[in-house]
A and B are shown apart, each in its own frame.
Chain A
Amino acid sequence: MIRYIFRRLAAGVVLLLVVTMVVFAIFFLVPRLAGIDSDGLAARYIGKSPSPEAIAAVKERLNLDEPITVQYWEFVSGLVMGQEYDSGTDIIHCDAPCFGYSFKTNTEVWPQLLERLPVTGSLAIGAAVIWLVAGVSIGVLSALRRGSLLDRAAMMTALAGVSLPIFFTGLVSLALLSYYWPIFPPGGSYTDFTENPLAWAHGLVLPWVTLAFLYAAMYARLTRAGMLDTMGEDFIRTARAKGLPERTVVTKHGLRAALTPIITIFGLDFGLMLGGAVLTESTFSLPGLGKFAVDAIRGSDLPVVLGVTMFTAVFVVIANLVVDVLYAWVDPRVRVGA
């Protein structure tokens, strides 16, 4: 077990390096390949109509005139050890972990990321609970009553669910349940959990359901297919032949085997979910990480976009690592096989 965890940790560190390279390439290499020189690139990091002095300063700070390897090294060491930016008049310390510095608003990105993390976290965790519970139970029920009216209705809804864009379901739910029947607050209202847990939950119901709907639909389809496969297996027949009650056969034997792949997929879906969170936050104007990135793109504040991208990428790597380890703990076959 310990060896397995160490191996996973080592793989995770390698993955983190690869991820920083990819993010670095997106932000510094690809624009060069597209023909932007270091002045042009520096200008993009400042925003609209920068002065020549500002460009020179940013070029200096981001080491844009250095060879690409030096740039990458400075980029990574900045993340791990912090960085110092010379703003002309005084030196700004960006403490580790330094996720960049917005030259537009003259603020560090990291504290702002931390400030917005609880919003995205609240959204993601609530939605994940809803979609796992709803998706899996609907999938199991559909599989057990295959061909019934319930099965057909559930599968039609699920198909509609995977075909509906989040930002459309979100808008429709706002129009109906916040405007025509004012049950829930309009978009843009977020109350912190520590302030008022009830208002927090009340304000998040629509975003949760909107985000969960898409994934619940996907998981219902997956669970149904997995459950149908499993219930046809020999060990189910054996369990029934032993005279076990049907309830035990379904929950202890069928569900357990059918759920294993669902857990794997859940681990892989973190990244996808963050994408969904970006759209949900934009639709409901929730002040989370996704909205932060989208607003930064609109206001061409590239360091913020870079910070959010890097942060979520690192988060996904760590989340996957945790899932891997938990998975090995739950299922002994994994650590033996790996």
Chain B
Amino acid sequence: MTAPLDVPGAAEEAQPEAVAQTGGTRDRGRSLGQIAWMRLRKDKVAMTGGAFVVLMALVALFAPLIVSLLGHPPNQWNREMIDPALGTPMGPMGGMSGEHLFGVEPVTGRDIFSRIVYGARISMLIGFLATLVSVVIGTFMGIIAGYFGGWVDALISRLMDIFLAFPLLLFAMALVGVLPDAAFGLQDNALRIAILVFIIGFFNWPYIGRIIRGQTLSLREREFVEASRSLGASNFYILRKELLPNLVAPILVYSTLLIPTNILFEAALSFLGVGVEPPTATWGGMLSEAVDYYDSAPNFMLAPGLAIFLTVLAFNLFGDGLRDALDPRTQS
């Protein structure tokens, strides 16, 4: 079931490390990566998602610069923007203007745009790092379970089932609740971020683990693994040199799809008040503050909500596109 690649002239060279084409201007074969990139580039939806992801990453990276250009630090109160009688922002649309792009928060008058920009830092940082933790644990466990099989596989698979079946959000809430304000040589926000990265990453590894296990199961039976083994290669060598390189594609795809899940997880914890501590701006935290003002200041709720939605959607679109591009079986 090989699908035709929608690349001009690619039909003849659809095989990985394709055989050199005779004649024509292109006489070089393309690697699997190049083919995937060509397919991905044609996928407009995925590329739009990818572009938005890059944009958000840049916003997160240069948050201090962006905010200093606009001149409203995220934690600065702008009391003059607030109607003292009602506690809601003055002016139309929750105080939206050229000065305050997304308006200001009720009561404190903090600039919503600046807080969204700074919130991106927390979301992206925790989303990426937690995914890294999940991928490291998931790949390790998955490859071991799939390769060795037997009781190792039974044990790890059962463990993954247990992890997937539990109300992880509650466990994560509990863990954040019992931990002190200073531990492991860290304190305050640095500690909170470290805890969140660890918890989110640790609880989500089975998603990656399952996929890697499945892939390893089928790779294990392939001839090149057999050949390597008959040449006297050790298990460790086979895992590292034969299996791991073949698992790069699924690892890449499912990391891209796990990042948005983790961003949502972080937002949920912040929303519940067990994330990074205020006044640090987080999207989830902003939404939880907006709960009381959904009637009087809808922009306060819409800004962080749309920030989460668009970022997560962008990651999902890009991830789906990446999966289709890297999987030779999918039809475009």
Q: Is the CB of B169 within 8 A of A275?
A: yes
Q: Does A112 contact B (CB under 8 A)?
A: no
Q: Contacting B287 at CB < 8 Å: which of A19, A168, A272?
A: A168
A283 to B168, CA, bound (A): 19
Given A30-B175, A268-B161, list of 6 further CB < 8 A pairs?
A27-B174, A36-B183, A268-B164, A282-B288, A297-B273, A297-B274
Q: Is the CB of A30 within 8 A of B309?
A: no
Interface pick from A61-69, A86-94, A159-167, A330-338 = A159-167
Chain A interface residue count, Cβ-Cβ cutoff 8 angstroms: 55
Q: Does A171 contact B (CB under 8 A)?
A: yes
Fill in one digit per residue for B130-147: 1 if any A CB lies within 8 Å of its CB, else 0. 000000000000000000
Q: Is the CB of A163 within 8 A of B170?
A: no
Q: Return chain B residues, CB-CB under 8 Å to A278.
A: 167, 169-170, 173, 272
Q: Return chain B residues, CB-CB under 8 Å to A36.
A: 180, 183
Number of A-B contacts (CB under 8 A): 153
Q: Does A123 contact B (CB under 8 A)?
A: no
- CB B284 to nearest CB in A, in angstroms, measures 8
Q: Contacting A294 at CB < 8 Å: which of B171, B273, B287, B313?
A: B273
Fill in one digit per residue for B149-177: 1 if any A CB lies within 8 Å of its CB, else 0. 00000000000011011111111011111
Interface pick from B16-24, B34-42, B114-122, B291-299 = B291-299
A244 to B162, CA, bound (A): 42
Name, among A159, A167, A282, A305, the residue most crowded by chain B CB atoms within 10 Å (CB to CB).
A167
Q: Is the CB of A163 within 8 A of B305?
A: no
Residues of B within 8 A of A (CB): 161-162, 164-171, 173-180, 183-184, 260, 264, 267-268, 271-274, 284, 287-288, 290-291, 294-295, 298, 301-302, 304-305, 308-309, 312-313, 316-317, 320
A163 to B264, CA, bound (A): 8
Q: Does A40 contact B (CB under 8 A)?
A: yes
Q: Quick one: closest A residue to B163, CB to CB? A: A271
Q: Is the CB of A275 within 8 A of B168?
A: yes
3 closest Cβ contacts across the A-B interface?
Answer: A275-B169, A168-B305, A34-B183
15 pairs, CB–CB < 8 Å, chain A vs chain B: A26-B175, A27-B178, A34-B179, A159-B313, A167-B288, A171-B301, A175-B301, A179-B295, A270-B165, A271-B166, A274-B169, A279-B271, A282-B272, A293-B170, A297-B273
Main secondary structure of the interface of B (DSSP, over half): helix
Q: Quick one: closest A residue to B267, CB to CB? A: A165
Q: Contacting B272 at CB < 8 Å: which of A26, A162, A297, A320?
A: A297
Interface pick from A99-107, A128-136, A253-261, A309-317 = A309-317
A171 with B294: in contact, given A26-B174, A30-B175 (CB under 8 Å)? yes
Q: Return chain A residues, CB-CB under 8 Å to B316.
A: 159, 162-163
- Of residues 51 through 98 on chain A, the ones whose CB sits less than 8 Å from some CB of chain B are none
Q: Does A18 contact B (CB under 8 A)?
A: yes
Q: Is the CB of B166 within 8 A of A316?
A: yes
Q: Contacting B294 at CB < 8 Å: which of A19, A174, A268?
A: A174
A92 to B139, CA, bound (A): 49
Q: Does A298 contact B (CB under 8 A)?
A: yes
Name, among B274, B291, B312, B317, the residue most crowded by chain A CB atoms within 10 Å (CB to CB).
B291
Q: Is the CB of A320 within 8 A of B179?
A: no
Q: Return chain B residues, CB-CB under 8 Å to A272.
A: 167-168
Main secondary structure of the interface of A (DSSP, over half): helix
A108 to B173, CA, bound (A): 21
Q: Is the CB of A309 within 8 A of B174?
A: yes
Q: Contacting B179 at CB < 8 Å: which of A30, A283, A309, A312?
A: A30
Name, among B174, B272, B316, the residue most crowded by chain A CB atoms within 10 Å (CB to CB).
B174
Q: Is the CB of A165 within 8 A of B268?
A: yes
Q: Is the CB of A168 within 8 A of B309?
A: yes
- Of residues 18 through 40 on chain A, the ones whose CB sits less than 8 Å from some CB of chain B are 18-19, 22-23, 26-27, 30-31, 34-36, 40
- CB A33 to nearest CB in B, in angstroms, measures 8
Q: Is the CB of A15 within 8 A of B178?
A: no
Q: Is the CB of A271 within 8 A of B165?
A: yes
- CB B116 to nearest CB in A, in angstroms, measures 14
A279 to B162, CA, bound (A): 22
Q: Is the CB of A171 within 8 A of B305?
A: yes
Q: Return chain B residues, CB-CB under 8 Å to A22.
A: 171
Fill in one digit per residue for A268-292: 1 if any B CB lies within 8 Å of its CB, else 0. 1011101100110011000000100
- CB B89 to nearest CB in A, in angstroms, measures 16
Q: Return chain B residues, CB-CB under 8 Å to A15.
A: 162
A275 with B294: in contact, given A159-B313, A282-B272 (CB under 8 Å)? no
Q: Return chain A residues, CB-CB under 8 Å to B184.
A: 34-35
Fill in one digit per residue for A192-223: 1 if any B CB lies within 8 Å of its CB, else 0. 00000000000000000000000000000000
